[in-house]
Amino acid sequence: MSGPVRVYHFTEQPYPDAWKDHAGSLRVTLPNRRLDPVIAADLLNRYYDEWALADELGLDVMVNEHHQTATCMSSTSIVALSVLARITKRARILILGYPIGHRTDPLRVAEELAMVDVVSRGRLDMGFIKGVPYEFACSNQNAVGVMDRFWEAHDFIIKAMTSHDGPFNWESENFHYRQVNIWPRPYQKPHPPVWSTTASRGNARVLGERGYVMSVLGSGYSTRPVYDAYREGYKAAGRGTAPADRFGYLGLVSVAATEQKARERAEIIATYLRSSEFVAPAFKNPPGYLAIEDNARLLKGQTPPRSATKDGRKIDMRKASVQELIDAAVMFCGTPDQVFEQITDFADHCGGMGNLLMMGHAGALSHTETVDNLTVFAKEVLPRLKTYRQPTLDDAIAAA
Amino acid sequence: MLSYASRTVRGVRLEALELGSGRRLLFLHAGYGLDFEAASLERLATQAQVIAPTHPGFGGSERPSSMTTVDDVAYLYLDLLQELDLRDVTLVGVSLGAWIAAEIAVKSTERLAKLVLSSAVGIKVGNRETRDIADIFAMTEDEFNAAAFADPAVAVRDYKSMPEAQVLRVAKNREALARFAWSPYMHNPKLSSRLHRVNVPTLFLWGSRDHIVSQDYGRAYCAAVPGARFELIEAAGHFPHIEQPEVFAANVLDFMECDGSSRRFV
């Protein structure tokens, strides 16, 4: 179980100017007239610069993709991946995730990702997700049956990346190809590492059986049961004890020389969480996205919050204070000592966590602030995380 | 909860409401689900033998994994007519049910006497940038009720006090409707060019205050079916059989009785 914590710098590449006036909907319906392409160009180039800095500082990098939203301008992740494949030198490049549940053409996905892997000389980490609920309205893909489509697209992409002896045939319910033979094939063998995300124990077990890297997003001290479900699946598939590098966690990070400075920065970073609720209600839960039983519970008005603090308090991350976010390990915030302590305490609690997906920029955090945040983290926290000793299974059981 | 009979068609177990006696009437429910439509069936059953199956994947009916389109459902009901050896059937559908009924009628009217399509979806009328059918998946429940009902108050449901089993059926129906109607949205691009094949007397019933599918849409649909007649039902929205069950049933029963309109004479 030993091993360091890798840290990926992540930003959603937001357009925060639009957050000031949105009539309750930052996603799907907010007219794109509200985006000034000149400002967008400055922002996107700046975010790429910050990823290049992260690479120089010894951090890894992570990008994502969303659609029709001011919270994330990365509407096709392949653009950021392509840029990063060239401008970074050493970092692992994680896409988490590529929303293959929204894609009509997994052949194109396989071709794009294989090419990024080659250009980056094998630095791609390949995260697949089904896609967020509100974006089924944008892609017009059906949320009903999305997990079937997700796994079939996954199977196809892996087959396309690992078939090297000429064309193969694929004719199924969802996808139809007759001469599949991608050029170039991926740099890494047999293919770039597969990642995914989930909040459910059922999906976690499936990911464990497959041995893929599983990340959860902001679930704080509610994370352990999901990790344990993964561990069960991993073991049941005959893989033994799941090492810490199989687990990722997305948390917000604000670190500075003084606690006061970190708290000021944290208030800006937290606007990311507070913006997430501005989705027109009709798009929040398309039919088929959740299981029927979960939808029935929602109709009954039962909506369990996802995040919990270490002492069991449930928090709503959209409304929580910075202190509550820290208590729940949704945010790691403070001096380098405090942040190291918070991260490793959380990793211990989880029974091991080998990949911190660090939101080192969010909201309207300025370039100067972001550079400082990344630099302090990389110089003061990262070296200590590299020598961190993950808990053994016995340690983890004792701590639970 | 209503008391459903169980029917097995081509190995697929369907629940069905079966009531009344007289001329045969096959009723195909809207995406809303049969649980909320029973009043009109009781009116129809005063003069007809009503069979109202729950569509595959809705309520308590099975859905084989291969059954993914309205076309598949239409073939299943053609098999139902054949397995029960039903003849001279009046086929009545509302909204999604009317779409299924139209898909049945363009395939075969061999066992049909008449066709009633109420608040029908299923075809594309306007140009590519005109949305013919309101995007109900972009609406909250309150917004949907305001568009679909002349009096939205009748549609308000209290899920907290509703029995758990029924709430599950509501959730299941919503998913089933999306499975069949998400894209192309609520229609089959091929259907309108096939409607000329409908060779039984056909009645269109439309709520005067339907803001899900407009009267103009209904009249265009009607014009594509040879000899079809169009009737408005006042003080009703997209579900005239729910808001005006007596008027709805009277229209259907009158149409079933009227002379010179059996398919034999067409």
> What are the pLDDT digits (tens) for B193-247?
999 999 999 999 999 999 999 999 999 999 999 999 999 999 999 999 999 999 9
pLDDT value at position A305? 63
Q: Which residues pair with B51 in a beta bridge?
A: B18, B26
What are φ and ψ of residue B174, in 5° steps? -60, -45
What's the gap in Å between the CA of A29 and the closest CA on chain B? 10
**Residues 6 or more apart in contact with residue A55 via CB below 8 angstroms:** A61, A87, A88, A89, A90, A91
CATH code for the domain defined by A6-399: 3.20.20.30
A296 contact B CB<8A: yes
A400 contact B CB<8A: no
Which one of A28, A279, A284, A300 would you mutate to disrupt binding with B, by most B Cβ within 10 Å of its Cβ? Answer: A300
The per-residue DSSP string of B139-159 comes to S-HHHHHHHH-SSGGGG---T
The reply to whether A104 touches chain B by the CB within 8 Å rule is no
Q: Where are the beta strands (DSSP E) in A124-246?
A: 124-129, 168-171, 176-180, 194-197, 213-217
Mutate to test the interface with A, among B182, B183, B185, B187 (most CBs of A within 10 A): B182
Which pLDDT value is given to residue B179? 97
The rounded distance, in Å, linking the Cα atoms of B3 and B6 is 10
Domain boundaries, chain A: 6-399
Q: Are the beta carbons of B138 and A281 separated by less than 8 Å?
A: no
Q: For residues A295 and A286, what is the distance between their CA atoms, to the nearest angstrom?
A: 10
Residue spans of chain A under pLDDT 70: 1-2, 304-306, 393-400
Q: Is B183's CB within 8 Å of A295's CB?
A: no
Residues 126-155 of A with CB under 8 A from B: 137, 140-145
Instruction: For residue range A18-52, list pLDDT tens digits in order.
Output: 888 788 888 899 999 999 999 999 999 999 999 99
Residue A281 has its nearest CB partner, among B137, B140, B160, at B140
A296: nearest CB among B143, B171, B183: B171
Low-confidence ranges of chain B (pLDDT < 70): 1, 259-266
Tell me how close the Cα of B33 comes to any Cα of chain A, in angstroms: 15
* A219 Cβ neighbours under 8 A, 6+ residues apart: A199, A226, A306, A307, A308
- The predicted pLDDT at position B256 comes to 96
B5-265 homologous superfamily: Alpha/Beta hydrolase fold, catalytic domain (3.40.50.1820)
* pLDDT computed for residue A393 by the predictor: 66
Question: What pLDDT does residue A397 have?
Answer: 62
Closest residue in A to B58 (Cα–Cα): A292
User: Which pLDDT value is given to residue B263?
Assistant: 45
pLDDT at position B259, please?
Answer: 58
